[in-house]
């Protein structure tokens, strides 16, 4: 599975494959690069780490190709949920505001 990173570089945001200096995608805002990444990842299996301005990891998303025989589109899962006492992940009630 390929690994990608969304990072701020100068006045724009970029999506780049891990170990590559060349950007796969660029956008003016974080919101735009995340949206474009979802489209770019269709049909691919990859891990995407979304970084904060300070370089720390804000969120990780795993894109997998659906195994549904009707051919559904790939789905994204996020590691952003909260864990309950039973160890199950609950969805966040409200999305975080992007930086």
Q: Give the model's pLDDT for residue 65.
A: 81
Q: Decide which of 22 and 69 is more confident.
A: 22
Q: Give the model's pLDDT for residue 69.
A: 38
State the pTM of this model. Answer: 0.66
- 37-95, pLDDT tens digit by residue? 999 999 899 999 999 999 999 999 999 986 433 433 444 555 554 444 444 444 445 55
CA separation for the pair 48, 42 (Å, rounded): 13
Burial of 37: CB neighbours in 10 Å, binned 0-12, 13-18, 19+:
buried
């Amino acid at each position: 599975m390929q690994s990608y990173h969304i990072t701020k570089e100068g006045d724009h945001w970029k999506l780049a494959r891990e170990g590559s200096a060349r950007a796969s995608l660029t956008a003016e805002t974080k919101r735009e690069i995340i949206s474009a990444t979802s489209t770019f990842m269709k049909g691919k299996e990859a891990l995407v780490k979304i970084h904060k301005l300070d370089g720390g990891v804000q969120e990780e998303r795993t894109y997998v190709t659906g195994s549904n025989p009707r051919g559904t589109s790939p789905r994204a899962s996020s590691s952003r949920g909260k864990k309950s006492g039973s160890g199950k992940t609950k969805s966040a009630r409200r999305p975080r505001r992007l930086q």
